[in-house]
Amino acid sequence: MSEINETQKTEYGENQIQVLEGLEAVRKRPGMYIGSTSIRGLHHLIYEIVDNSIDEALAGECTHIVVTLHKDNSVSVQDNGRGVPSGLNAKLGIPTLEVVFTVLHAGGKFGGGGYKISGGLHGVGASVVNALSEWVEVVNCHDGKMYTERFSRGKVEREFKCEGDANGRRGLYVRFLPDKEIFEESVFDYETVLNRMREQAFLNAGISIELIDDRGDEPTSEVLKFDGGIASFVEYLNKIRGVAVVHDVIYLRGEKDDATAEVAIQYNDSYNETLMTFANNINTVEGGTHETGFKNALTKVINDYARKKNLLKDDDEKLSGEDVREGMCAIVSVKLPEAQFEGQTKAKLGNSYIRPLVEGLISEKLGEFLEENPAVAKNIVEKSVLASRARAAARKARELTRRKSLLEGSSLPGKLADCHERNPEFTELYLVEGNSAGGSAKDGRDSQFQAILPMRGKVLNVEKSRPDKVYINSQLIPIIQALGCGIGEEFDITKLRYGKIIIMADADVDGSHIRILLLTFFFRHMKKLIEDGHVFLAQPPLYKVYKGKQTRYAFSDEERDMRIAELGGNAEAERYKGLGEMDPSQLWETTMDPTSRTILKVTMEDAMQCDQLFTLLMGDKVEPRREFIEKNAKYVTNLDV
């Protein structure tokens, strides 16, 4: 144990216990309430207010919601629900509206029958938004009267007041400006908000959500309304991913007591599974009882049908869960009172009675569907059987790869220049494009903790390949061996040999292609590496700017011009055509030295968008890829063709 410096000791007694009053706790520790103060947390403010309006819709009291991004970067949310009761709160003696916006864990979701089903963040949504905003303006139309109140950083700025008759208007209007003292970024992204609003409109069939962006020269707006609900959601997902579907959407719905379960399924011609689960409109990215029930029942129903119709090779053949979900796009949405979520972020549903509800729905109604639609059923089973046999071939390929490594006397690839450190907390693996750059990287690295694996030739596009092709690919085998954590069914993150996996490719079109191919491989076959933050992109410079013995590096055209100005007239700029042009010391200084380099972490901010993007960019369909490139070409800079 390390020694404690006695002079650094501080007293710890009753006077050191800090009591944070009102919403001070939220401002002190915002991450506890909205996840983070990054751009993700910023957008969470909108979602919390919209969730309250969605709860009104679930109660049958709201049909239309308008979200507006204003020029001053404030946001307003307006609905046509019931509004907030206008009387005084009996316990606190202040207006109910004020309680909702200034008291944590206050609202209509804690008993009393106000809402049978609700989302929102533990009932603290409105007050947390208030605490983290410079100001909040509220207009409340309830029972024919209009009431207003204004808050500043969680405290009342203008008292609650009745403004008179509402003139037929009903519902709640909330406008807020996020506090720049709290958030790292304060500008909302239209596409991010649009995707979330679209998702909510899909999950709540018939509700209209209008998104208005008033920040440009001309306001833009989009009305999102889907009478088909989650069936339309599945159709949309398959359409934007550019995959060919095998059959029409299968939609199933079941109820028990106050809980409902909806499932929409549609198979496509890809090798990838897309399964999204929701509870009370909250995306449960870590699954839970509803997802477990769905997966178990789906596997059993398809196996039972295949065996009954003699579609399996023999009595011993059995389709796994992965087999029956290959090429499947599905949404599972449950709505229930008193939803129990595991963790502050509500990533996993815990209510045990939801599992048999979903299992029963799939067992009964999907079984009936397959019996009544034999052509569709046969297509699904045949696709699953092909997946099963390809998976068996993949297992053999993995075993062959393992045996080959053992026979060669080492489980590590020969091209790998390993590091001395063995603790993955401190190690880095550079996947380097080209032998020339690989040589410079080997000579320039710190061999104590940095390993180098040069890559030469074309990386397999796994989006178009079955798993068995992946495991015998000469470019991917060395990566699998070097990482040491296995792949597919055998993947074990605890065996990972390197804490950082850094893709280092040229800053040109070919380099970009290699990066996307490697990212597709990790996303499809080792997703946990991305989810846990192990994958990074190196950022090599585009220019060397020099004058005499003075040298600067620039990563963009704008930075090149700045560096030239810094060094004065007659300074020259040299454009790097590739990593191989840099000598070892330059590569270390610009791209590999932890004290001076820039590396970008690859994150899973939105798994659905990642899935769509990889399918779109790397799949077989040309038209959606062309549309994407045309739409986004204006954002591309510093592209070396």
Single-letter amino acid, residue 611: D
Within 155-267, where are the H helices? 190-203, 230-240
| Catalytic-role residue among 24, 214, 508, 620 | 508
| CA–CA distance, 354 with 339 (Å, rounded to integer) | 10
Catalytic annotation on 184?
A: no
User: What are the beta bridge partners of residue 75?
Assistant: 69, 176
| CA–CA distance, 121 with 345 (Å, rounded to integer) | 8
User: What are the beta bridge partners of residue 151?
Assistant: 136, 156
| CA–CA distance, 582 with 540 (Å, rounded to integer) | 10
C-alpha distances in Å from residue 315, one per residue of 304, 307, 393: 11, 8, 20
| CA–CA distance, 502 with 497 (Å, rounded to integer) | 13
* Half-sphere exposure of residue 225: CA atoms within 13 angstroms, side-chain side: 10
CA angle, 370 then 374 then 378, to 5°: 90
Which contiguous run of DSSP H or E holds residue 543? strand 543-547
b/e map 514-525, b = 16+ CB within 10 Å: bbbbbbbbbbbb
User: What are the beta bridge partners of residue 535?
Assistant: 501
Q: What is the dihedral of CA 226, 301, 298, 250, to 10 degrees?
A: -10
Residue located via tokens 């009478």: 227
Q: CB atoms < 10 A from the CB of 93, how many? A: 8
Long-range own/partner contacts, residues 420-423 (CB < 8 A, 24 or more apart)? 420/447, 420/448, 420/449, 421/448, 421/449
| Catalytic-role residue among 48, 359, 418, 433 | 433
| Catalytic-role residue among 510, 531, 557, 606 | 510
Catalytic annotation on 433?
A: yes
Catalytic annotation on 316?
A: no
Q: Do residues 67 and 210 make contact, with C-beta atoms less than 8 angstroms apart? A: yes
| Catalytic-role residue among 213, 262, 506, 589 | 506
| CA–CA distance, 453 with 438 (Å, rounded to integer) | 7
**Cα distance between the two ends of the chain:** 57
Catalytic annotation on 510?
A: yes
Single-letter amino acid, residue 283: N
- Supply the residues annotated as catalytic: 433, 506, 508, 510
